[in-house]
Structure 1
């Protein structure tokens, strides 16, 4: 079974845990990149905040595995 993860500012991702999303709060660009590198292998979808998407750049978000979605601002 694949899981869903969320990376970004704590206030934007922590509430997603109530619906089963594994939250990786990351307040600065290095923390975002570390969270991305540390994603478990069974994560199939990663939801990122706009700030996290900017920190990751286009490379990770352009791949097909895991699928990514950017939250609206």
Structure 2
């Protein structure tokens, strides 16, 4: 089984992750961030979040079934 690494947040902060093969889901509004979270591929193991994305997804990150999340420093 292969696992995916994804990143959610503002495009300018995540562009470098594309070079490492990370699936980047850009968004800057709460609605865009939530849409990106729901669009994560099955098998996503780790999600890198910008600080703004982490604030938008706070209620979802506590779910033990959600992928492991890492928040970029602000």
What whole-Å deviation, never above 9, does each CA across 1:23-48 have from its counterpart, x for those lacking one? 00101110000000110102100000
Runs of 4+ off more than 6 Å: none
TM-score computed with the length of structure 1 as normaliser: 0.91
Q: How far apart, CA to CA, are the structure 2 residues paired with 1:52 and 1:44?
A: 17
Greater percentage in helix: 1
Q: Count the aligned residue pairs.
A: 72
CA RMSD, Structure 1 to Structure 2 (Å): 1.0
TM-score computed with the length of structure 2 as normaliser: 0.90
Gaps of at least 5 residues in structure 1 are none
